[in-house]
Amino acid sequence: MNFDPALWLLASYLVGAIPTSYLAGRIFRGLDLREHGSKNLGATNVYRTLGWRYAIPVGLLDIAKGAIPVLVFAPRVSDSQLFGLACGVAAILGHVFSVFVRFRGGKGVATAAGVMLGLTPLALGAAALTWLILLASTGYVSLASIAAAAVLPLAVYFLERLDRPEILWLDALVAAAIIWLHRANIRRLLNGTESRFGRRATPPAHP
């Protein structure tokens, strides 16, 4: 059944808006993660607050929230990479500004990775390698995410074949937005107060 493109964009936003981190905290520990750890609804804060057991599936689901609109929704309207990216951007916006948690979502890194997995997998591989190298060498998830976002448009330009040049500019805008969402982390990095990966917060007592 074919729907208007606007409806698929809305569906993409709503899929992206599913607050996986919030649901994990509420369902399994009775916690609102917006009040614990970094207060961010992302997989890293799930790890720091609840541990790997919850962070891994949350991270995978956040990636899926970006991949599904690109690989499942967009082809129902058009084979254009541009419309696929539009659906992906809608999902990222849903994750960052989720209507289900008063528009206080995550920073969109994992969901953006899912979008790139569906559209530009080679570029995603280069960005992921950058992320892993920086994380392993510095221990800062935020620095690794910022660097990966910065590398992504360059990797798209050099590694991918695009059917529309506008895709590169949209990728650059997404990367810039992700970096902007990390502005508080950048301040903490400059001040030497940013938390390193692997240091979990003490889990709050169950009410």
Q: Distance between CA atoms of 191 and 204, rounded to whole angstroms?
A: 27
Given this model, what pLDDT does residue 44 score? 87
Given this model, what pLDDT does residue 199 score? 53
Confidence band (pLDDT; 50, 70, 90) for 2? low
pTM score of the predicted model: 0.87
Q: Distance between CA atoms of 113 and 64, rounded to whole angstroms?
A: 9
Q: Distance between CA atoms of 147 and 171, rounded to whole angstroms?
A: 14
Q: Is 103 left (phi over 0), alpha (psi -120 to 50) or beta?
A: left
Residue with more model confidence, 38 or 115: 115
- Contact call for residues 25 and 50 (beta carbons, < 8 A): yes
Residue type, 169: W
pLDDT tens for each residue of 6-34: 999 999 999 999 999 999 999 999 999 99
pLDDT of 201 above 50: no
DSSP for 57-89, written as a single string: HHHHHHHHHHHHIIIIIGGGT-S-HHHHHHHHH
Residue with more model confidence, 135 or 205: 135
Residue type, 113: A
pLDDT tens for each residue of 76-109: 999 889 999 999 999 999 999 999 999 989 999 9
Confidence band (pLDDT; 50, 70, 90) for 121? very high
Q: Distance between CA atoms of 147 and 135, rounded to whole angstroms?
A: 10
DSSP for 106-122, written as a single string: --SHHHHHHHHHHH-HH
Q: Distance between CA atoms of 106 and 57, rounded to whole angstroms?
A: 15
Query: CB 24: neighbour CB atoms within 10 A?
Result: 23
Q: Looking only at Cα atoms, what is the longest distance across the chain? A: 54
Confidence band (pLDDT; 50, 70, 90) for 202? very low
